[in-house]
């Protein structure tokens, strides 16, 4: 049964994967046999992540570029396609978050979140689709959040952006389906990754106990 989930011969790019959920997604795909390119904006952090993954028993390649820079993104995906002859999987995981009351969120801050979390995913999907389409196979996975389905105080920007990501995913699925490319959104709940260190407080633990089915946040492997 597990053989059905093997990714041998596939080439994957996972954005924002030097740490957190992106790191774990990259690790899982590499362990399943894919040639995985981890992405970030720091060569040093990416190389450290690659070494850490090697210590966990998997090999990955590095693709250092800012997802909000369309020129660099296009150049990087072209390089990967030239090196491997293909691109099969794109995981749009990179994102930023701002937990602030609505009155503290300015237009500039919201635009920044849209650029990083949403527009970059749209751009990379458009860049990847023609390469995937040549082989008649592609998987585009957008990492959204359960926040996309909720409304709550102090998280408006994130809720807006992730709600838009879900809508975008549906549109991309319709557009790219005829090329053999599927598009899906993952909606994780709260995970205690490096970016959520601030959630490790007694107050947040009490909240998790009442709101989470298991009474706690998720822990990366």
Say if CB 91 and CB 61 are below 8 A apart: no
Decide if 36 contacts 88 (C-beta within 8 A).
no
Q: Which two tokens stand for residue 13?
A: 């790019």
Sign of the C-alpha dihedral, residues 144, 145, 149, 155?
negative
Is 37 marked active-site? no
Strand, helix or coil for residue 34: coil
| Active-site choice (158, 162, 185, 193) | 158
Are 3 and 28 spatial neighbours (Cβ–Cβ below 8 Å)? no
Task: Look up residue 19 and give its two tokens.
Answer: 């740490």
What single-letter DSSP state applies at residue 8?
T
| 16 DSSP assignment | T
147 Cβ contact list (under 8 Å, min separation 6)? 155, 158, 159, 162
Catalytic residues: 158
């Amino acid at each position: 049964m597990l053989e059905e989930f093997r990714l041998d011969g596939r080439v994957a790019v996972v954005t924002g994967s030097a740490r957190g959920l992106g790191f774990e997604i990259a690790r899982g795909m590499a362990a399943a046999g894919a040639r995985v390119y981890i992405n970030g904006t720091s060569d040093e952090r990416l190389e450290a992540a690659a070494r850490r993954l090697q210590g966990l028993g998997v090999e990955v390649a590095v693709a250092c570029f800012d997802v909000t820079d369309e020129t660099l993104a296009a150049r990087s995906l072209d390089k990967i396609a030239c090196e491997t002859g293909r691109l099969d999987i794109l995981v749009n995981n990179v994102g930023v978050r701002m937990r602030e009351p609505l009155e503290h969120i300015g237009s500039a801050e919201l635009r920044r979140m849209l650029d990083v979390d949403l527009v970059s995913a749209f751009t990379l999907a458009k860049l990847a689709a023609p390469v995937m389409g040549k082989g008649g196979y592609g998987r585009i996975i957008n990492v959204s959040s359960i926040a996309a389905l909720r409304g709550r105080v102090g998280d408006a920007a994130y809720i807006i952006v992730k709600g838009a990501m879900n809508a975008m995913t549906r549109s991309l699925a319709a557009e790219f389906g005829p090329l053999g490319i599927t598009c899906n959104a993952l909606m994780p709940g709260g995970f205690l990754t490096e970016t959520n260190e601030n959630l490790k407080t007694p107050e947040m633990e009490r909240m998790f106990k009442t709101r989470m089915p298991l009474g706690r946040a998720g822990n990366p492997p």
